[in-house]
Amino acid sequence: MVDYSKCDGDGACISACPGSIFERSTNGRWCKPVDDFVKNSRALESFHERIAGSAKPVNLAIRYHVPECFLCWQCIGACPKQAIDVEYDDLDVREYLLEVDNSVTEMIGST
Protein backbone atom coordinates (compact mmCIF):
# COMPACT_ATOMS: atom_id res chain seq x y z
CA MET A 1 0.00 0.00 0.00
CA VAL A 2 1.31 3.45 -0.87
CA ASP A 3 0.02 6.50 0.99
CA TYR A 4 0.16 9.34 -1.51
CA SER A 5 -0.45 11.95 1.17
CA LYS A 6 3.07 11.09 2.39
CA CYS A 7 5.01 9.96 -0.71
CA ASP A 8 7.39 12.58 -2.04
CA GLY A 9 8.98 10.57 -4.86
CA ASP A 10 12.29 10.20 -3.01
CA GLY A 11 12.88 6.85 -4.73
CA ALA A 12 14.54 5.05 -1.82
CA CYS A 13 12.01 2.23 -2.26
CA ILE A 14 13.16 1.78 -5.85
CA SER A 15 16.78 1.13 -4.93
CA ALA A 16 15.88 -0.93 -1.83
CA CYS A 17 13.53 -3.39 -3.58
CA PRO A 18 15.27 -6.64 -4.59
CA GLY A 19 12.32 -7.48 -6.87
CA SER A 20 12.55 -4.18 -8.78
CA ILE A 21 8.80 -3.68 -8.45
CA PHE A 22 8.92 0.10 -7.83
CA GLU A 23 9.41 2.95 -10.26
CA ARG A 24 8.86 6.71 -10.34
CA SER A 25 5.84 8.07 -12.15
CA THR A 26 6.47 9.80 -15.46
CA ASN A 27 6.54 13.22 -13.79
CA GLY A 28 8.98 11.93 -11.12
CA ARG A 29 6.75 13.11 -8.27
CA TRP A 30 5.51 9.69 -7.13
CA CYS A 31 6.85 6.22 -6.43
CA LYS A 32 4.61 3.36 -7.43
CA PRO A 33 4.71 -0.32 -8.36
CA VAL A 34 5.57 -1.01 -11.99
CA ASP A 35 2.28 -1.16 -13.89
CA ASP A 36 3.00 -4.60 -15.39
CA PHE A 37 3.37 -6.09 -11.88
CA VAL A 38 0.07 -4.76 -10.50
CA LYS A 39 -2.73 -7.32 -10.71
CA ASN A 40 -5.67 -5.15 -9.58
CA SER A 41 -6.56 -2.85 -12.45
CA ARG A 42 -8.69 -0.56 -10.26
CA ALA A 43 -5.58 0.42 -8.28
CA LEU A 44 -3.79 1.39 -11.49
CA GLU A 45 -6.82 3.32 -12.72
CA SER A 46 -6.99 5.21 -9.43
CA PHE A 47 -3.31 6.09 -9.60
CA HIS A 48 -3.46 7.32 -13.20
CA GLU A 49 -6.77 9.17 -12.78
CA ARG A 50 -6.25 10.79 -9.38
CA ILE A 51 -2.54 10.93 -8.61
CA ALA A 52 -0.22 10.71 -11.62
CA GLY A 53 -0.78 14.29 -12.79
CA SER A 54 -0.68 15.96 -9.38
CA ALA A 55 2.41 17.81 -8.23
CA LYS A 56 1.13 18.00 -4.64
CA PRO A 57 0.35 15.31 -2.05
CA VAL A 58 -2.99 13.59 -2.63
CA ASN A 59 -5.13 12.43 0.28
CA LEU A 60 -5.37 8.87 -1.00
CA ALA A 61 -3.68 5.56 -0.21
CA ILE A 62 -3.78 2.78 -2.78
CA ARG A 63 -3.57 -0.92 -1.99
CA TYR A 64 -1.83 -2.58 -4.90
CA HIS A 65 -1.82 -6.34 -5.45
CA VAL A 66 1.73 -7.23 -6.56
CA PRO A 67 2.41 -10.99 -6.42
CA GLU A 68 6.06 -10.43 -7.44
CA CYS A 69 6.70 -8.75 -4.07
CA PHE A 70 9.13 -10.86 -1.99
CA LEU A 71 7.55 -9.63 1.29
CA CYS A 72 11.01 -8.57 2.49
CA TRP A 73 9.76 -5.16 3.73
CA GLN A 74 12.93 -3.40 2.52
CA CYS A 75 10.80 -0.66 0.95
CA ILE A 76 9.15 0.09 4.29
CA GLY A 77 12.47 0.68 6.02
CA ALA A 78 13.88 2.65 3.10
CA CYS A 79 11.00 5.11 2.68
CA PRO A 80 11.90 8.28 4.60
CA LYS A 81 8.24 9.38 4.71
CA GLN A 82 6.84 6.03 5.91
CA ALA A 83 4.49 6.04 2.94
CA ILE A 84 4.65 2.29 2.27
CA ASP A 85 3.06 -0.62 4.08
CA VAL A 86 3.30 -4.24 2.94
CA GLU A 87 0.53 -6.65 3.81
CA TYR A 88 -0.02 -10.27 3.04
CA ASP A 89 -3.25 -12.18 3.31
CA ASP A 90 -2.35 -15.52 1.78
CA LEU A 91 -2.47 -18.10 4.59
CA ASP A 92 0.08 -20.35 2.84
CA VAL A 93 2.58 -17.49 2.65
CA ARG A 94 2.03 -16.61 6.30
CA GLU A 95 2.58 -20.21 7.40
CA TYR A 96 5.71 -20.44 5.29
CA LEU A 97 7.12 -17.29 6.84
CA LEU A 98 6.44 -18.61 10.33
CA GLU A 99 8.26 -21.85 9.47
CA VAL A 100 11.27 -19.90 8.26
CA ASP A 101 11.25 -17.75 11.39
CA ASN A 102 11.03 -20.82 13.66
CA SER A 103 13.89 -22.61 11.91
CA VAL A 104 16.09 -19.53 12.13
CA THR A 105 15.29 -19.14 15.84
CA GLU A 106 16.13 -22.78 16.53
CA MET A 107 19.34 -22.58 14.51
CA ILE A 108 20.49 -19.44 16.37
CA GLY A 109 19.57 -20.95 19.73
CA SER A 110 21.51 -24.16 19.06
CA THR A 111 24.87 -22.51 18.36
Which range marks the domain in which residue 74 is found? Answer: 2-109
- Region 39-43 average pLDDT: 92
Rounded percentage of the chain residues whose pLDDT exceeds 90: 74
CA-based nearest residue to 24, from 8, 5, 38: 8
Give pLDDT, residue 56: 92
Q: How far apart are CA 11 and CA 14, in angstroms?
A: 5
Q: Which residue type does 12 have? A: A
- Those residues with Cβ within 8 angstroms of residue 78's Cβ, 6 or more apart along the chain or in another chain: 12, 13, 15, 16
Q: What is the CATH number of the domain that holds 84?
A: 3.30.70.20
Is this model's pTM higher than 0.85 or not? no
Query: Strand runs (DSSP E) across 1-111, as ranges?
Result: 2-3, 22-24, 31-33, 61-62
Domain count, the chain: 1
